[in-house]
Amino acid sequence: MRCIGMLQAGARQSAVARELNVHRSVTHRLWNHYQRDQNASRRRGSGRRRIATTADDRYLLQCARRRSTLTARQLASQLSAAAGRPISRQTVSRRLHEGGLFARRPVVCVPLSPVHVRAGLH
């Protein structure tokens, strides 16, 4: 924003570039962008946009901690219903992994009877 202010005050682009220790093409690009859009904010970077926002990630981690028996697929359907857009099971698994939660596939186990335990020990 200092660059835009200096250019609006009438300074030359080369002088502004020298003052801010950047290349002249940077000030030129910034000034053209400001004149076109009346805005000098940064543009979004390259690459694929994330389908789940940071708020979605927090919601997902909160739901997973509350009900640890939910699978990633169930969490995905729950988040899709809440967010109003489809979110894949793989995305949910990745977000849980980033949040430090693992093994989202609970298994229902039948408890062994004392007879079965003794048989297994023999």
Mean pLDDT of the 20-28 span: 91
Mean pLDDT of the 28-46 span: 81
Q: Which DSSP symbol is given to 85?
A: S
Q: How far apart are CA 76 and CA 92, in angstroms?
A: 6
Higher confidence at residue 105 or residue 79? Answer: 79
**pLDDT greater than 60 at residue 106:** no
What pLDDT, on a 0 to 100 scale, did the predictor assign at position 91? 92
* C-alpha dihedral (71, 77, 82, 88), degrees to nearest 10: 100
Q: How far apart are CA 114 and CA 40, in angstroms?
A: 73
What pLDDT, on a 0 to 100 scale, did the predictor assign at position 108? 58
What pLDDT, on a 0 to 100 scale, did the predictor assign at position 18? 92
pTM check: above 0.75? no
Q: Which of 23, 25, 27 is nearest to 35 (CA)?
A: 27
